[in-house]
């Protein structure tokens, strides 16, 4: 008996551990721990140890000049003394001061910045009162793709496409792949805050002579901009392994502006309702409506844009929204933003030192008070203040202004409790985001391994794939192309290439690099089709000139290359165009040649490749060229694709994501349902996989319906004019005709999700029921017929129209018609055990254990009663965990109900546990008899 108390105590401990494990598994199933809440708790704990100077310093994202981080540089003081929250690296500030080893130098710069920040806190004894706390820096970059002028790093990394090129593919998987490469490469270099992507909607027509966002947007349809943005964000987060925060811009949308945002504050004339439908829709998609954490943006970059008519008075304009607390609160108070903001989404101001802001606050250029500008922007709602070239009128440099601004903020924190609360609120969000990136603030977690540099710059395949899918035939129509260009260039054809090229510099002391070389397309043609690659062209019959050469020829300047002679002799004239800017008169050379010297192009095949937005040529210009293609981006793989299109090796399949007035292409019309399609219509039945996937599934029973039943219906994917799924929210009407041609017609209006519309209809009376569907302007669809007589059930018959148009695929005569692009419906989540089910399983288990204890004591002894009870309890709890942990086959046991399934499984577990106890007892008795010699050796 002396050994029984310890054994009993051990049994109790074992049971307690089992109960805790089981309960934790059950609770975790129903409601997992919220990582955002955990990060906020960490942030509050850290804030309790921070001084006012450390707190206000975290609110600033600053720029600096050069690539040195030593005691003589201003950035050293801002980090070590003022504890700034982050830095942004810009090529114009010479932060990337090398073209030869730019990746290694950039990695060393970001690592030095983080080590400096860490050394400040680690130098002081940890227990010392007032010792600085270590908070990693945000190291930010705006790398938009397409190299100069919207990339900061111009070499070394993968030359990725711009957003419009991605939009022209209409393929979200490609957006995700580009985002993944961007995330992987930037995080490997040490960046952790990405200013992008742009979610602006280009919904206004281009006006000649004005600046616009151009290729810095996915396109002009709010739905598709949102879908591309979600996929891009998912790629960023995946590629960086969660170490890169994304700040979507330019919230709340400036695609409707008529000028570049950096130079002057634009005014957009729209009502609040129009904003919600167009500009805000993509931002809804990546915040409250994101659906999955990886598609949710970490922050929004708040633009300096004004809205006229926003406050229901068409004559009243807001302040720049980054300074208008009332207007910003109205927007952030929308249901789509509230949960995202509550969960810790941050707001980042656009550059507070931009020429646009200086011009707005200091129109005559003699009094710009940066301290007050920063204060007003912060009080308006910004959490992180982005400052570049941030200099007050009387200060000698930006470092002085920033120091005085930070001291001003710290003093105000101590004196103004309301301001202090506002600082703490923003600081909690910022620190929580940093804890999301780095669960522990250690230098080992913050600085990436140098080995990651090896994978940078080796993902050109994704850029090529985007180029091949994006290339678009703008003019003529595809069916006319074979008439005007029946064959590619031949061996004896003379080809003149004229390329719009600009120069760029990585830094002030770096050499000039052309954005596209003058002979880039010619060189690619020779590589692919020259003497070493099939001999389709003769090198001697090719020549290349720049737009500047053409401009000088049109200006009749001296010392010209033989542009006129080569144009006169050419069989083909191929233009490689970029944007059209008033600041670059040579960019207009193509348009001038078309209007001033059409004789030089007469009877020649004139081909234009737009390596930028496709809308710069007007209808008259386009009428004078043989073929006009849009490639949208000038990254090297796009030049290769242009060569293959010219030689008809690639057939363009892309479609412009923006309106092109020159050919009458209107995006709103293009994204409406294609009137030539036949919309498929079928029953909306759940798809259940076979119990054993290796066996051939049995035929699905044909459903029947009777009066009083409800018929579930769905369309196939409804396609737009470009043969892509229509945007979400496209209206669809289901039509129900009863009683034949003379009967009653009813309709149900619904909206598409992922191109598919769903509806249901309750059968009210017997007779003939015919169901069809339309979505203006697409009025052809399959028809479903149901003929019910009396009380009998009847099956539905599908009738497919036979007069399918010749230019669309003929639908097959099956009940369920779905193009291959139809996304699989999201399966309804199976029910899972909750806390009540766990308590029930626990009661059944403990009750059974008590019975086992009683039987064991009655039939044997206390020792075996406890053992039997333990087996019963372990069996019951193990069986319940089989359900709670969603192990294979468990869902089949609870399809009919969670509670009943829980009881059944627990009882089975209890029985198996009791059986195991019995076997244990039997084996022990047999062993005892064998030891005592009561069992013969041969038994």
Beta bridge partners of 768: 787
> Which residue, 732, 685, 928, 723, is CA-closest to 827?
685
For 193, the 3-state DSSP assignment is strand
Give residue 740's pLDDT.
63
Give residue 899's pLDDT.
64
Is residue 834 packed enough to be buried (19+ CB in 10 Å), middle (13-18) or exposed (0-12)? Answer: middle
Give residue 832's pLDDT.
60
Cα separations (Å) of 152 from 506, 552, 915? 8, 31, 71
User: To the nearest whole number, what is the mean pLDDT of the chain?
Assistant: 86
DSSP 726: P
Mean pLDDT of 10-29: 44
Count of all residues that appear for the chain in the document: 939
Is residue 833 packed enough to be buried (19+ CB in 10 Å), middle (13-18) or exposed (0-12)? Answer: buried
Q: Which two tokens stand for residue 180?
A: 């993944």
Residue 828, pLDDT above cutoff 70: no
For residue 802, what pLDDT band results from cuts at 50, 70 and 90? low
The answer to whether residues 809 and 792 touch, using CB atoms and an 8 Å cutoff, is no
Give 48 or 742, the one with higher predicted confidence.
Answer: 48
Give residue 266's pLDDT.
82
Cα(638)–Cα(644) distance, integer angstroms: 10
Q: Exposure pattern of 41-63 as b/e (b: 16+ CB <10 Å)?
A: ebbeebbeebeebbbbbbbbbbb
Cα(879)–Cα(908) distance, integer angstroms: 7
Specify the pTM.
0.81
Give residue 29's pLDDT.
35
DSSP 67: S
Cα(536)–Cα(553) distance, integer angstroms: 31
> Which residue, 666, 685, 822, is CA-closest to 755?
822
For residue 742, what pLDDT band results from cuts at 50, 70 and 90? low
The answer to whether residues 436 and 35 touch, using CB atoms and an 8 Å cutoff, is yes
The answer to whether residues 587 and 515 touch, using CB atoms and an 8 Å cutoff, is no
> Which residue, 537, 547, 546, 527, is CA-closest to 495?
537
Give 741 or 426, the one with higher predicted confidence.
Answer: 426
- Range with the poorest average pLDDT among 648-662, 767-781, 850-864: 850-864
DSSP letter string, 470-510: H-EEEES-HHHHHHH-SS---TT--EEEEE---EE-SSTTS
Mean pLDDT of 828-841: 61
Mean pLDDT of 467-475: 98
Cα separations (Å) of 155 from 98, 362, 637? 10, 38, 15
Phi first, then psi: give them for residue 468, nearest 5 degrees: -65, -30
Mean pLDDT of 703-726: 94
Residue 285, pLDDT above cutoff 50: yes
For residue 835, what pLDDT band results from cuts at 50, 70 and 90? low
Give residue 808's pLDDT.
41
For residue 609, what pLDDT band results from cuts at 50, 70 and 90? very high
Mean pLDDT of 918-922: 71
CA 440 to chain centre: 26
Mean pLDDT of 169-184: 98
For residue 410, what pLDDT band results from cuts at 50, 70 and 90? very high
Percent of the chain with pLDDT over 70: 82
The answer to whether residues 658 and 220 touch, using CB atoms and an 8 Å cutoff, is yes
For residue 692, what pLDDT band results from cuts at 50, 70 and 90? low
Cα(210)–Cα(206) distance, integer angstroms: 8
CA 273 to chain centre: 25
Is residue 313 packed enough to be buried (19+ CB in 10 Å), middle (13-18) or exposed (0-12)? Answer: exposed
Give residue 4's pLDDT.
41
Mean pLDDT of 528-533: 94
Cα(9)–Cα(28) distance, integer angstroms: 28
The answer to whether residues 304 and 261 touch, using CB atoms and an 8 Å cutoff, is yes
Q: Which helix (H) or strand (E) holds 125?
A: none
Q: Tell me whether strands 627-630 and 605-610 are parallel, antiparallel or unpaired.
A: parallel
User: Which value, in Å, is the radius of gyration of the alpha carbons in the chain?
Assistant: 35
pLDDT (tens digit, 9 = 90+) per residue, 767-795?
A: 889 999 999 999 999 999 988 887 778 88
Give 925 or 478, the one with higher predicted confidence.
Answer: 478
Q: Which two tokens stand for residue 18?
A: 């089992």
Cα(809)–Cα(819) distance, integer angstroms: 10
DSSP 917: H
The answer to whether residues 646 and 489 touch, using CB atoms and an 8 Å cutoff, is yes
**CA-angle at 149, arms to 148 and 153, nearest 5°:** 55
Cα(499)–Cα(546) distance, integer angstroms: 5
Residue 245, pLDDT above cutoff 70: yes
Q: Which helix (H) or strand (E) holds 213?
A: none
Q: Exposure pattern of 635-644 as b/e (b: 16+ CB <10 Å)?
A: bbbbbbbbbb
Q: Which two tokens stand for residue 619?
A: 């209808």
Give residue 868's pLDDT.
67
DSSP letter string, 684-720: -------SSTTSPPPPPPPPEE-TT-EEEEEE-PPBB
Cα(686)–Cα(359) distance, integer angstroms: 60
Q: Which two tokens stand for residue 285?
A: 């998609």
Q: Tell me whether strands 704-705 and 794-795 are parallel, antiparallel or unpaired.
A: antiparallel
The answer to whether residues 211 and 202 touch, using CB atoms and an 8 Å cutoff, is no
The answer to whether residues 132 and 432 touch, using CB atoms and an 8 Å cutoff, is no
Mean pLDDT of 389-417: 96
Of 26-30, 392-396, 893-897, which has the strongest mean pLDDT? 392-396
Beta bridge partners of 198: 249
For residue 625, what pLDDT band results from cuts at 50, 70 and 90? very high
The answer to whether residues 758 and 714 touch, using CB atoms and an 8 Å cutoff, is yes
> Which residue, 712, 716, 711, is CA-closest to 756?
716
Cα(653)–Cα(632) distance, integer angstroms: 14
Asked if the bond preceding 470 is cis, omega within 30° of 0, the reply is no
Mean pLDDT of 638-660: 97
For residue 843, what pLDDT band results from cuts at 50, 70 and 90? confident
Give residue 885's pLDDT.
64
For residue 47, what pLDDT band results from cuts at 50, 70 and 90? very high
Give residue 894's pLDDT.
56
The answer to whether residues 669 and 721 touch, using CB atoms and an 8 Å cutoff, is yes
Q: Which helix (H) or strand (E) holds 172?
A: helix 172-189
* Residue 170 CB contacts under 8 Å (≥ 6 apart), including other chains: 224, 654, 655, 657, 722, 724
Q: Tell me whether strands 572-577 and 495-499 are parallel, antiparallel or unpaired.
A: parallel
Cα(416)–Cα(339) distance, integer angstroms: 29
Give residue 310's pLDDT.
75
Phi first, then psi: give them for residue 278, nearest 5 degrees: -115, -75
Residue 201, pLDDT above cutoff 80: yes
Cα separations (Å) of 364 from 262, 367, 393, 636? 18, 8, 12, 44
DSSP 777: T
Maximal C-alpha separation, the chain: 123
CA 445 to chain centre: 25
pLDDT (tens digit, 9 = 90+) per residue, 478-493?
A: 999 999 999 999 999 9
For residue 807, what pLDDT band results from cuts at 50, 70 and 90? very low
For residue 932, what pLDDT band results from cuts at 50, 70 and 90? low
The answer to whether residues 152 and 143 touch, using CB atoms and an 8 Å cutoff, is yes
Residue 809, pLDDT above cutoff 60: no
> Which residue, 232, 216, 226, 363, is CA-closest to 285?
226
DSSP letter string, 562-592: SHHHHHHH-SEEEEEE----TT-GGGGHHHH
Residue 189, pLDDT above cutoff 80: yes
DSSP 558: S
The answer to whether residues 856 and 868 touch, using CB atoms and an 8 Å cutoff, is yes
The answer to whether residues 552 and 562 touch, using CB atoms and an 8 Å cutoff, is no
Give residue 11's pLDDT.
45
Mean pLDDT of 363-381: 93
Give residue 27's pLDDT.
40
Mean pLDDT of 677-703: 75
For 278, the 3-state DSSP assignment is coil
DSSP letter string, 77-103: HHHHTT--SEEE--GGGTSS--SSSHH
pLDDT (tens digit, 9 = 90+) per residue, 542-574?
A: 999 999 999 999 999 988 999 999 999 999 999
């Amino acid at each position: 008996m002396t050994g029984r108390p310890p054994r009993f105590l051990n049994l109790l401990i074992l049971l307690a551990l089992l109960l805790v494990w089981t309960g934790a598994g059950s609770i975790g199933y129903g409601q997992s721990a919220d990582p955002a809440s955990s990060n906020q708790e960490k942030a509050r704990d850290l804030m309790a140890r921070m001084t006012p100077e450390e707190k206000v310093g975290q609110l600033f994202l600053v720029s600096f000049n050069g690539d040195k981080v030593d005691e003589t540089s201003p950035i050293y003081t801002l980090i070590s003394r003022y504890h700034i929250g982050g830095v942004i690296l810009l090529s114009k500030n010479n932060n990337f001061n090398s073209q030869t080893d730019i990746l290694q130098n950039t990695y060393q710069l970001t690592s030095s910045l983080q080590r400096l920040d860490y050394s400040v806190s680690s130098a002081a004894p940890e227990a010392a009162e007032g010792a600085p706390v270590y908070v990693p820096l945000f190291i930010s970059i705006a790398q938009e793709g397409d190299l100069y002028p919207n990339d900061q790093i111009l070499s070394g990394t993968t030359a990725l496409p711009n957003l419009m090129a991605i939009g022209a593919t209409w393929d979200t998987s490609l957006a995700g792949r580009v985002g993944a490469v961007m995330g992987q490469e930037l995080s490997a270099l040490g960046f952790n805050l990405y200013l992008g992507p742009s979610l602006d909607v280009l919904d206004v027509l281009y006006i000649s002579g004005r600046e616009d966002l151009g290729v810095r947007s996915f396109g002009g349809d709010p739905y598709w901009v949102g879908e591309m943005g979600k996929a891009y964000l998912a790629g960023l987060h995946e590629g960086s392994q969660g170490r890169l925060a994304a700040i979507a811009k330019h919230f709340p949308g400036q695609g409707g502006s008529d000028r570049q945002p950096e130079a002057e504050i634009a005014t957009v004339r729209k009502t609040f309702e129009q904003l919600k439908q167009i500009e805000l829709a993509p931002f809804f998609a990546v915040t409250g409506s994101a659906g999955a954490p990886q598609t949710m943006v970490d922050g929004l970059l708040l633009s300096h844009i004004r809205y006229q008519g926003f406050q229901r008075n068409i004559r009243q304009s807001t302040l720049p929204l980054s300074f208008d607390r009332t207007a910003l609160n109205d927007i952030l108070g929308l249901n789509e933003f509230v949960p995202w903001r509550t969960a810790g989404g941050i707001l980042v101001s656009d550059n507070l030192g931009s020429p646009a802001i200086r011009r707005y606050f200091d129109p005559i250029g003699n009094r710009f008070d940066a301290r007050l500008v920063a204060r007003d922007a912060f009080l308006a709602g910004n959490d992180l203040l982005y400052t570049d070239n941030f200099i007050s009128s009387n200060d000698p440099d930006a470092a002085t202004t920033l120091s005085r601004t930070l001291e001003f903020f710290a003093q105000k924190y101590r004196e103004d409790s309301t301001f202090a609360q506002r600082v703490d609120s923003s600081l909690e969000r910022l620190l929580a985001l940093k804890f999301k990136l780095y669960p522990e603030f250690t230098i080992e977690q913050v600085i990436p391994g140098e080995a990651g540099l090896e994978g940078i710059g080796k993902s050109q395949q994704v850029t090529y794939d985007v180029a091949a899918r994006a290339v678009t035939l703008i003019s003529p129509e595809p069916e006319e192309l074979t008439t005007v260009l029946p064959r590619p260039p031949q061996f004896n054809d003379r080809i003149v290439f004229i390329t719009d090229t600009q120069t760029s510099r990585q830094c002030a002391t770096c050499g000039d690099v052309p954005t596209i070389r003058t002979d880039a397309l010619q060189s690619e043609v020779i590589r692919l089709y020259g003497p070493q690659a099939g001999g389709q062209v003769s090198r001697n019959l090719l020549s290349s000139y720049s737009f500047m050469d053409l401009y000088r020829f049109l200006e009749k300047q001296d010392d010209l290359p033989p542009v006129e002679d080569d144009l006169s002799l050419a069989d083909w004239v191929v233009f490689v165009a970029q944007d059209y800017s008033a600041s670059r008169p040579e960019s207009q050379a193509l348009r001038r040649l078309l209007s001033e010297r059409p004789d030089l192009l007469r009877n020649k095949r004139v081909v234009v490749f737009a390596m930028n937005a496709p809308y710069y040529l007007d209808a008259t210009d386009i009428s004078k060229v043989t073929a006009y293609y849009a490639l949208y981006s000038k990254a090297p793989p796009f030049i290769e694709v242009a060569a293959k299109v010219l030689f008809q090796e690639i057939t363009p399949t892309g479609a412009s994501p923006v309106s092109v007035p020159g050919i009458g292409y209107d995006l709103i019309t293009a994204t409406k349902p294609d009137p030539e399609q036949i919309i498929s219509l079928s029953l909306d039945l759940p798809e259940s996989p076979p119990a054993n996937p290796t066996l051939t599934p049995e035929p699905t029973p044909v459903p029947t319906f009777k009066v009083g039943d409800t018929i579930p219906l769905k369309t196939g994917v409804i396609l737009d004019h470009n043969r892509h799924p229509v945007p979400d929210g496209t209206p669809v009407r289901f039509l129900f005709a009863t009683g034949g041609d003379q009967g009653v017609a009813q309709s149900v209006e619904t909206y598409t999700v992922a191109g598919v519309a769903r509806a249901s209809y309750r059968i009210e009376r017997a007779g003939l029921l015919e169901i069809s569907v339309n979505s203006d302007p697409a009025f052809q669809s399959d028809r479903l017929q149901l003929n019910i007589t009396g009380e009998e059930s009847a099956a539905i018959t599908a009738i497919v129209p036979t007069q399918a148009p010749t230019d669309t695929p003929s639908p097959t005569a099956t009940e369920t018609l779905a193009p291959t692009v139809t996304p699989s419906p999201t399966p309804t989540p199976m029910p899972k055990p909750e806390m009540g089910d766990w308590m029930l399983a626990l009661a059944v288990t403990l009750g059974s254990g008590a019975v086992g204890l009683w039987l064991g004591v009655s039939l044997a002894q206390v020792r075996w009663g406890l053992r039997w009870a333990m087996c019963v309890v372990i069996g019951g709890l193990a069986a319940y965990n089989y359900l709670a942990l969603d192990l294979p086959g468990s869902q089949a046991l609870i399809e009919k109900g969670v509670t009943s399934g829980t009881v059944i499984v627990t009882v089975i577990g209890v029985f198996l546990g009791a059986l195991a106890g019995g076997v244990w007892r039997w084996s022990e008795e047999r062993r005892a008899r064998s030891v005592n010699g009561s069992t013969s050796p041969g038994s």
